[in-house]
Amino acid sequence: MHFGHWHHYDWVAGALLIMMAVAILFLNHEYRPARPLRIYQIATLAGAFVIGGLFFIPAVPRLVTASRQLVISRAPTETSGPFPVATANIALAAAANSEPAIPIQIWYPAAGRPVATPAPGNLAAPQSCLEFLEHQRLANAQQQFPILLYAPGNGGVKTDNASTAAELASHGYIVVAIDDIDRSPGAMSPLTFDFSSAEVFKDTLQAADRKVRLQAERALAALDRLEACTDAGWRGRVRFDRVGFFGFSIGGATAAEAATFDPRVAAAANLDGWLFGRAAGGEFEKPYMVILIEDDVFPRAAQLQSPDAIIRSSAALTGRDMREEIKLANRPHGFGFRILKAFHENLSDQAFRRAFFKSWLVVNPYRVKSIRDAYLLAFFDTYLRDKAAPLLTQSPSPFDEVEILKGNQYWLKEAAKSAAQSAGRL
């Protein structure tokens, strides 16, 4: 967790000012009751109350939300769409018995009453695809349901964005999520971002390129297996030939990579992930959306020239990624949004864990979730349902926290400056 948002903690200074002013008044009353305050002392205390109040009072709603979340400590389960949502943990077997099953979590518009999405720790044991089909019922609707694939962050699990998956399913999408490929039985050593030397940095980039490719292939293999096991009822009501793909962190890079080589992936959305593989090399042509956070900025020249290999390599990769994101966001079917005050974990359900309590003092995790859900729905409605969504092109954004990257002259100039500074580096 990176906390480069110290200016958002100015409410602490405000609280201290108010407490100091109250303490001075109390001490004066207790120990100098016959000695009235002088004019300049009254003015100073009044100023402390006013300035402290200006800093502290606007933060009160955030503090209340943070306190509430500390007690609840879970992602929201409510959805806003017209369909009730069910979820299932499925092990998709291969046609050849020698290949291991691929575990997926699926959220789908269900017939009947709404079904609460269970917490990640309370998921039912995996069932076979045939068992799932025997007991499930898709919602009745005069439409086909598009499929959205989902990939989690590095080392993450398929339920790490369960609240967003359920929200999208409530609007008529079938969300199919996989675990990070490093969690698979027999997987090689997990990807570690090591920037300690130029040689190791190069190896890290190559390992990341391989990982997003293998992970994309795994998600698409899960799509193949799901289609193969479904019955005629599903195949007539579910679109397997035109799907969307979204992911968090390296899962976002996985989504982009899948769109570069599989024609079924019609659109990809990246939730604050560095790009790797073919997508990082300018080989991306499909509709694309990226959602970034406040800390996502172009590196300074001093960072690119730092004697510290970790700082230098991280800056080079960040610069490369930001240039590509700005480029993709400014294509005809590209979009980019930056959520101010947000942290990386705010783009997944990790933000609702107690471990990230400090972030709740800066930003409301429910608010950021509503933003990411709204933009994902608008994006996939546009490119999977051919249903124009005004939010996607609305400028300025109706969300005060959102900065639009498309057509943003400041970010275009920063990208050009970064390209000049980074010439020959990466």
Question: Interior CA angle at 56 toward 51 and 61, to 5°?
Answer: 150
More confident residue, 384 or 355: 384
Three-class SS string for 353-394?
CHHHHHHHCCCCHHHHHHHHHHHHHHHHHHHHCCCCCHHHHC
| Most confident range, picked from 19-23, 234-238, 308-312 | 308-312
Give SS3 for 13: helix
Provide the pLDDT confidence category of residue 41 given band limits of 50, 70 and 90: low
* Domain ranges, ordered by start, for the chain: 6-68, 73-421
pLDDT at residue 122, rounded to an integer: 53
Given a cut of 60, whether residue 120 has pLDDT beyond it is no
- pLDDT tens-digit readout, 54-65: 666 666 676 676
Provide the pLDDT confidence category of residue 69 given band limits of 50, 70 and 90: low
More confident residue, 28 or 418: 418
pLDDT at residue 73, rounded to an integer: 61
Given a cut of 50, whether residue 20 has pLDDT beyond it is yes
Identify each DSSP E strand in 254-302 by its residue range: 265-271, 288-293
Average pLDDT, integer, range 170-198: 89
pLDDT at residue 13, rounded to an integer: 67
More confident residue, 115 or 327: 327
CB atoms within 10 A of CB 228: 13
Provide the pLDDT confidence category of residue 395 given band limits of 50, 70 and 90: very high
- pLDDT tens-digit readout, 322-337: 999 999 999 999 999 9
C-alpha separations of 227 from 165, 220, 233, 258 in Å: 19, 11, 11, 18
Residue 12 CB contacts under 8 Å (≥ 6 apart), including other chains: none
Q: Which helix (H) or strand (E) holds 51?
A: helix 39-56
pLDDT at residue 234, rounded to an integer: 84
pLDDT at residue 355, rounded to an integer: 81
pLDDT at residue 98, rounded to an integer: 74
Cross-strand bridge partners of residue 338: 292, 403
- pLDDT tens-digit readout, 187-238: 667 899 999 999 999 999 999 999 999 999 999 999 999 999 988 778 889 9
pLDDT at residue 241, rounded to an integer: 94
Given a cut of 80, whether residue 358 has pLDDT beyond it is no
More confident residue, 340 or 13: 340
Give SS3 for 253: helix
CB atoms within 10 A of CB 224: 15
Distance CA 354, CA 69 (A): 8
pLDDT at residue 76, rounded to an integer: 81
**Mean predicted lDDT score pLDDT of the chain:** 86
Provide the pLDDT confidence category of residue 425 given band limits of 50, 70 and 90: low
User: HSE (CB half, 13 Å, CA atoms) of 388?
Assistant: 3
For residue 154 the two structure tokens come to: 């590095």
Q: Which helix (H) or strand (E) holds 302?
A: helix 301-304
CB atoms within 10 A of CB 130: 12
Given a cut of 50, whether residue 128 has pLDDT beyond it is yes
- pLDDT tens-digit readout, 400-417: 999 999 999 999 999 999
Q: Is residue 137 a contact partner of residue 162, using CB atoms and an 8 Å limit?
A: no
Provide the pLDDT confidence category of residue 123 given band limits of 50, 70 and 90: low
Identify each DSSP E strand in 200-297 by its residue range: 238-248, 265-271, 288-293
Given a cut of 60, whether residue 267 has pLDDT beyond it is yes
Going by their DSSP bridges, the two strands 102-109 and 174-178 should be labelled as: antiparallel
Which of these, 170, 262, 239, 284, lies nearest to 385 by C-alpha position? 239
Distance CA 57, CA 2 (A): 25
More confident residue, 151 or 426: 151
pTM of the entire predicted model: 0.85
Task: Give, in words, the CATH class of 73-421.
Answer: alpha beta
Distance CA 39, CA 43 (A): 6
